[in-house]
């Protein structure tokens, strides 16, 4: 199975490359920033040069606060590029996997968000990600829009790596405690997507006309459980054996340019049915990889 990986050098893209060792049936071609997905002609050349059964788009503009002052740049990557990519993949007959965010929701609910809940993003980043979702749904190639949240991994800059770096040099750190979400291991997400792609192929081998896999579907993936950023930071310090106290602070006192949802926990029941095993808790995922617990750079 030939697979095209876009955004391969970001956090999620690196996780896909790491996990791919367990899927030797995939022949992967990976592109990072050298392939600008906001240039439809460049992407078209790649897709026309070779057929790909699956295209996984990890490229994203995810600077939430900066998006407030660079809305056009965010829209170009998170929305317009997704529309063009969906059109190209549909023409070719492949399967497209694209990622969205819990920030498409306003955070006013008091229970985990379902795929059927009405999105209402509070910031430009969420608005552009929702526009990308809607564009892919309108084009409707075979594919998945996977909403996920609060990704952490050993790769690139993310909440885990930043907390460990700060914890190695400070005695205390202030972390927001009034935002609640679903911390998610990006390695677990990559594993789940590969499992789903394999499951889809097996399903189609048995029933080529299986309608569920010939349109765009929206699903959620997140590790089980919920936490505030402060709770997540506290667990990171504990597992890393860092003597750094986490001091809870409100979002208002912390001060950010973009509004965030106060509650954005995702319900992943739907995607669980496609996976070979249960989705684990974020605490288990955080402590489950030796890569997370290597000594931080001091």
Q: Which positions are catalytic?
A: 125
C-alpha 293/C-alpha 296 separation (Å) is 8
**For residue 212, what is the DSSP state?**
G
Element counts in the chain: helices (H) and strands (E): 11, 12
Phi, psi of 234 (to 5 degrees): -60, -40
Q: How many residues does the chain have?
A: 298
Give phi and psi for 268, each to the nearest 5: -110, 25
Alpha carbon distance 248, 254 (integer Å): 10
Rounded-to-integer distance, Cα 137 and Cα 112, Å: 23
Sign of the alpha-carbon torsion through 282, 100, 41, 124: negative
First to last CA, the chain: 43
Classified as helix, coil or strand, 220 is strand
């Amino acid at each position: 199975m030939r697979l095209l990986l876009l955004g391969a050098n970001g956090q999620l893209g690196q996780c896909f490359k790491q996990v791919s060792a367990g899927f030797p049936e995939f022949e992967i071609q990976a592109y990072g920033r050298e392939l600008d997905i906001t240039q439809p002609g460049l992407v078209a050349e790649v897709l026309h040069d070779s057929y790909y059964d699956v295209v996984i788009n990890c490229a994203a503009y995810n600077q939430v606060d900066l998006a407030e002052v660079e809305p056009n740049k965010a829209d170009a990557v998170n929305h317009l590029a997704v529309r063009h990519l969906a059109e190209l993949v549909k023409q070719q007959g492949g399967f497209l996997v694209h990622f969205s965010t819990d920030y498409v929701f306003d955070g006013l609910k008091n229970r985990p968000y379902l795929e059927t809940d009405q999105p209402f993003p509070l910031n430009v980043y969420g608005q552009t990600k929702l526009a990308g979702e809607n564009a892919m749904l309108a084009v409707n190639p075979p594919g998945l829009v996977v909403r996920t949240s609060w990704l952490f991994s050993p790769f690139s800059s993310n909440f885990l790596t930043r907390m460990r770096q700060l914890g190695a040099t400070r005695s205390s750190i202030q972390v927001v405690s009034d935002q609640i979400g679903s911390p998610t291991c990006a390695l677990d997400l990559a594993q789940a997507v590969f499992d789903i792609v394999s499951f889809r192929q097996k399903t189609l081998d048995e029933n080529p006309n299986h309608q569920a896999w010939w349109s765009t579907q929206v699903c959620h993936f997140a590790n089980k459980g919920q936490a505030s950023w402060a709770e997540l930071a506290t667990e990171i310090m504990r597992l890393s054996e860092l003597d750094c106290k986490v001091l809870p602070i409100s979002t208002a006192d912390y001060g950010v340019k973009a509004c965030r949802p106060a509650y954005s926990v995702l319900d992943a029941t739907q995607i669980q049915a496609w996976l070979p095993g249960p989705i684990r808790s974020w605490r288990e995922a955080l402590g489950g990889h030796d890569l997370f617990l290597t000594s931080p750079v001091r």
